Amino acid sequence: MRAAIARLRQPWSDRRAELTLGAASLAVCVIVVGMVAFVAVHAWPTIEHNGGFAWLGSGGNLDGQLQRMFETGQHPPASAYHVRAWPVIYGTLLTTSIALSIALPLALLSSIFIVEFAPSPLRRVMVPVVRLLASVPSVIYGLIGILVLVPFVGNHLITGAQKTSVQSTVELTGASLLVASVVLAVMITPIMVALISEALSGVPASWREGAMALGVHRLRATLAVSLKAIRPAIVAAGALACARALGEAIMIFMVSGSRSFAPNLDHGPLIFLYEPLRTLASVIVDNKEGFGGSPAVNSTLYAFGLLLLISAIALSLGSYLIKLPLRRYQLK
Amino acid sequence: MREWRLLDRIVLGAAWAAGLGLCLVTGAIVVYMGVRGFQYLRPDLLVTSPQIAEDGSVSGGILDPLIGTAVLTAIGLAVALPLGVCCAVWIVEYGKGGRARQSLGRLVESAIEIVAGTPDIVIAIVGIAVFQLGVLAPLSSKSPTGVVTGTSFIAAGLTMSLIALPPIYAATRDGLQAVPAHMREAAFALGKTRIATIRRVLIPSVRSNIATGTTLGISRIVGDTAIVVIVLGETLRNEPLNSTPIVGFLRGTGSTLTSYVFDNSPAGEGKAEDKAYAAAFVLLLFVLLLNIVVGRISRRQAHSSGFQAGGGRT
């Protein structure tokens, strides 16, 4: 035993070190591949019993379907797996797209401001401010959302007439698409600002100076030269923000109501924004007791998780592919 | 600016508005949480455990959540730090020569990027599934009926290490890539083996990068709620599984600051908004502190004399 320890304490040969480090790296690979395989395997019963991709469609009340699954116990029949997940998929698409469309212009404008136009003392303040905003935990956003924004929307923005007009289908409490999207936009903006402003400050000054020497003023030089040059970084920032928005579970669970409802435009755009919804991630949080219980619930939740995982991987792959032709500009 | 077109002036105004708006939003969040925190946080809350009062709401303090956060961070870092540094070292130093090594290197990079982009809710559901497997039952917890629930401090800590891994890996890799070649060549010229170079020359020079990555990893662990809510089994107090001193605690369930805030908000079961505000304020203070630490480390790295490894986050 002592001989073994003594042997270990002698300087390691390069070969042994390489194998050890390589084993650590391989272990990480195996863990990640295992993670994807796990989710797929656990999601398989739902996919199988719903006939392929039918479970992505609409039809029926998702809350009711999940509730029935809870009641089927440990050995559910094949019919218990019936689920139609479109309401939550639609909710996820809605929140992500609205949040991105608010956050992307905001992030671009803020980055241009930070890099070009902010006076020095303000710029020194803004860098830590953006970093702080990026690292605020999502549960704090959710807390402020549910204790401040939701009552504000419910009591001051939604009129009584609007509430009664949809009373038969849904109750408008202020926990809504509006609050969820706005808070989500605030959450993903700092990620994009950090990446884009870092890329903007990396553009060689000579490129912009060349444009300004031709008579273009600072703002147009930035827009025409720097923004075009950092397109890969903008794509990467957008993909990162999109992945964060897709996977946000806790905050959306807290501020977006308690029903797997698909907001619709039947009563006009304002009420569309005021309707509650659920996203893929927040419905998993909502039904988390199902992980010890019925295999039907278990498998459905893993199917939702599989959707999230596939979209995250697709985003990562997509941003890599989009960046490939942009690499011509030699800017990372 | 007077000669600018109207559209350009509008865009300039919008840029100013966006930048100032971002500052205002951050200020509003910090000030609001600060006001509420001072309103509800008393020093004795920090040292008493939560209890259920008669009317069903939560009274008592936040000691258990604080301990829970500390334990999870320790476990998560204990796994993520060595793994992340080893992976980064292998990729930068050994992952270059030969086709097989390059493919493995690209595979590891992609794997870590996948983990970095995965939502934490997906990692949470994988975590609880993994620890529900029979073979890992000793690591996880209970259930009165004997069913393995897959929730415990160890399970949550190991799951947390997955989300702390990417920042540590990325920071270390950037630092190592920024070490100029002449440092390594000088060491080899003096007859050092590769592993000795790594141990004695490279790792010390990327210390600040590792510190930055670790702090970022800590802030990710501290702020994460989804994994805690799913894999730690949300009990209010830290409930050890049995009376074995440390192992029983680690196999039990508990709460952290994040799950405490979640539970006490109207979205959880609690009606104790004041406790939620108090805990959220403490959480925000932690995150602020970690941010300041990261800023300090990067500034010291930028100012230090002699050689320093650049790269890393600014």
State which residue of chain A sits closest to B9, comparing Cα positions: A219
> A79: how many CB neighbours lie within 10 A of its CB?
10
Q: Which domains, ranges and CATH numbers included, belong to chain B?
A: 41-303 (1.10.3720.10)
- How many beta carbons lie within 10 A of that of residue B233, not counting itself? 27
For B277-304, write each residue's pLDDT tens digit.
Answer: 888 999 999 999 998 998 888 888 777 6
The answer, for A27 touching chain B at a CB cutoff of 8 Å, is: yes
Q: Does A114 sit within 8 Å of B122, measured CB to CB?
A: no
Q: Which pLDDT band holds residue B308 (cuts at 50, 70, 90)?
A: very low
Q: What one-character-per-residue DSSP string does A207-271 give?
A: HHHHHHHTT--HHHHIIIIIHHHTHHHHHHHHHHHHHHHHH--HHHHHHS-SS-----STT-HHH
Residue percentage of chain A with pLDDT more than 70: 95
A253: distance to nearest CA of chain B, Å? 8
- The burial class, CB within 10 Å (0-12 / 13-18 / 19+), for A140 is buried
**Angstroms from A299 CA to nearest CA on chain B:** 11
Name A99's Cβ contacts closer than 8 Å, sequence gap at least 6: A181, A182, A184, A185, A187, A188, A245
Indicate yes or no: CB of A133 within 8 angstroms of CB of B26.
Answer: yes
pLDDT greater than 80 at residue B161: yes
Strand segments (E) across chain B: 50-52, 58-60
Q: Output Rg (C-alpha) for chain B, integer angstroms.
A: 23
Q: Residue B227, CB half-sphere, CA atoms under 13 Å: how many? A: 30
Alpha-carbon gap, residue A308 to A92, rounded angstroms: 10
Cα angle A262, A267, A272; round to 5 = 45
Which one is predicted more confidently, A292 or A306? A306
Distance between CA B40 and CA B243 in Å, rounded?
34
B126/A306 Cα distance (integer angstroms): 10
Give the span between the Cα atoms of A310 and B8, in whole angstroms. 41
Closest-CA residue of A relative to B83 is A24
Please, what are the domains in chain A?
A: 87-290 (1.10.3720.10)
pLDDT at B189 over 60: yes
> In terms of C-beta density within 10 A (0-12 exposed, 13-18 middle, 19 or more buried), how is residue B245 classed?
exposed
What backbone torsions phi and psi does residue B194 show, to the nearest 5 degrees?
Answer: -60, -45
Distance from CA of B21 to the nearest CA of A (A): 9
Residue A293, exposed/middle/buried by CB under 10 A (0-12, 13-18, 19+)? middle
Can you give the length of chain B in residues? 314
A140 contacts on B by Cβ (under 8 Å): 29, 33, 261, 280, 283-284
pLDDT mean over B192-201: 86
Minimal-distance CA residue of chain B relative to A15: B195
Identify the band that residue B306 occupies on the pLDDT scale cut at 50, 70 and 90.
very low
Tell me which residues of chain A, numbers 57 to 96, contact chain B at a CB-CB cutoff of 8 Å: none
Q: Under an 8 A CB cutoff, do A21 and B273 touch?
A: no
At residue B214, the pLDDT reads 93
Which chain B residues contact residue A220 at CB under 8 A? Answer: 8
Given a cut of 50, whether residue A278 has pLDDT beyond it is yes
Q: Among B163, B166, B273, which Cα is nearest to B224's?
A: B163
> What's the average model confidence in pLDDT over B232-258?
76
Q: Under 8 Å CB-to-CB from A38, ≥6 apart: which residues?
A: B126, B129, B130
List chain A residues with CB under 8 Å of B150.
291-292
Q: Measured between CB atoms, does A8 come within 8 Å of chain B?
A: no
- Pair B275, A143: CB distance under 8 Å: no
- Confidence bin at B24 (pLDDT 50/70/90): very high
- Those residues with Cβ within 8 angstroms of residue B104's Cβ, 6 or more apart along the chain or in another chain: A22, A25, A26, A29, B95
Touching A: B residues 238-257, CB under 8 Å? none
**CA B130/CA B139 separation, integer angstroms:** 11
A315 in reach of chain B (CB within 8 A): yes
Residue labelled with tokens 């415990």: B152
Closest-CA residue of A relative to B148 is A292
Residue from the list A136, A217, A291 with its beta carbon closest to the beta carbon of B128: A291
CB within 8 Å: B226 and A285: yes
Is there a contact between A254 and B29 if contact means CB atoms under 8 Å apart? no
- Considering only CB atoms, A139 lies closest to which of B95, B132, B261, namely B261
Q: DSSP character for B93?
A: I
Angle of the A177-201 helix axis to the A86-112 helix axis, nearest 10: 40
* DSSP 8-state assignment for residue A53: T
CA dihedral A16→A20→A26→A28, nearest 10 degrees, is -170
Q: What is the interface pTM, i.e. ipTM, of the complex?
A: 0.87
- Contact assignment for B277 to A31 by CB distance below 8 Å: no
From residue A76, alpha-carbon distances to A36, A46, A71, A84 in Å are 25, 12, 9, 17
Contact with chain A for residue B197, Cβ under 8 A: no
pLDDT digits (tens, 9 = 90+) for B105-146: 888 888 898 898 899 899 999 888 888 776 666 666 655 455
Q: Closest residue of B to A146, CA-based?
A: B266
pLDDT of A195-239, one tens digit each? Answer: 999 889 888 889 888 988 998 888 888 888 888 888 888 988 999
pLDDT at residue B201, rounded to an integer: 87
**What secondary structure letter does DSSP report for B118?**
S
Q: Which of A15, A18, A21 is the best substitution to test chain B (most B C-beta atoms within 10 A)?
A: A21
For the cut 90, the answer to whether the pLDDT of residue A168 exceeds it is: no
CB neighbourhood size of A43 (10 A): 22
Cβ atoms of A303 and A53 closer than 8 Å = no
B263 to each of A210, B138, B237, B242, B258, how far by Cα in Å?
Answer: 57, 28, 12, 25, 9
